[in-house]
Chains A and B, each alone.
Chain A
């Protein structure tokens, strides 16, 4: 006997909202990527809890794929950040206005 399913959903929802806040409100590309990671982690938590709630293994399988997606996303995202840093010398997303004139 653990807890009601709704409490776990609440925890995952609060974590997801924290990730959204981090991705929106920080002036730094790395912190925006970290916000995306927090969101993916919250989704995985909800999936594992759902797998336990309905006694189906599919939820855990999906979390495995979320891990793989997160790894791919973070590697490509950090490569893009390094590329952008080399071009502009900054990590502030408001400095990336080369296309503007």
Chain B
């Protein structure tokens, strides 16, 4: 086992434990903090797989911007600690059986694929090469995604504006 494999397994364990803790905490702030730990692990995995620019973007966008946005919303709203949904056995059984079938088939597909046992070689895509590739081949997609972000910004502003009284029938809108 090389040192890279050891790093991968350690990071995978940390990510799985942190995510498992995050999705089961009752307190939302705790789960956000565990999720930040998980995303830091993902960023290190990106770096291990040869994508340093994406590792930086993962920390900036996911662990930074998105999680801080979640924290702002949690602080803004009065959130009561929420429990897991406890389904009855009759609801739980079909979903569980179908999921087990999917998991078994997925393990079969992944392990019997002839190319799946090839060990990955380390490589590195330098940010300069990556950016040049992106803007030479996919500049149109970059523009489209920037439009999408603009539309999302406008939509969020529209949804988040203060309620305006329009008629008598919407008085209950005022919190």
A residues in contact (CB < 8 Å) with B: 1-11, 13-15, 17-19, 21-22, 24-28, 30-31, 33-35, 37-38, 41, 44-45, 48-49, 51-53, 55, 57, 60-61, 63-65, 67-76, 78-83, 85-87, 89, 91-92
Contact = CB atoms under 8 A, between A and B. Distances in A.
Contacts of A69: 145, 148
Interface of B: 2, 4-5, 8-9, 12, 15-16, 19-20, 22-23, 28, 31-32, 35, 38-39, 42, 45-46, 48-51, 53-54, 57-58, 61-62, 65-66, 69-70, 73-74, 76-77, 79-80, 82-85, 87, 99, 103, 106-107, 110-111, 113, 115-123, 125, 129-130, 133-134, 137-138, 141, 145, 148-149, 151-153, 155-157, 159-160, 163, 172-173, 175
Given A63-B51, A86-B173, A31 B61 contact: no
A72 B146 CA distance: 10
A98 to B, nearest CB: 10
A5 B61 contact: no
Nearest to B80: A91
Given A3-B5, A22-B23, A11 B16 contact: yes
Contacts, number: 221
22 contacts: A3-B5, A8-B8, A10-B107, A13-B106, A18-B20, A21-B23, A27-B84, A30-B70, A34-B31, A34-B70, A35-B23, A38-B38, A41-B42, A55-B123, A63-B54, A68-B149, A71-B149, A73-B152, A75-B69, A76-B152, A79-B156, A85-B77
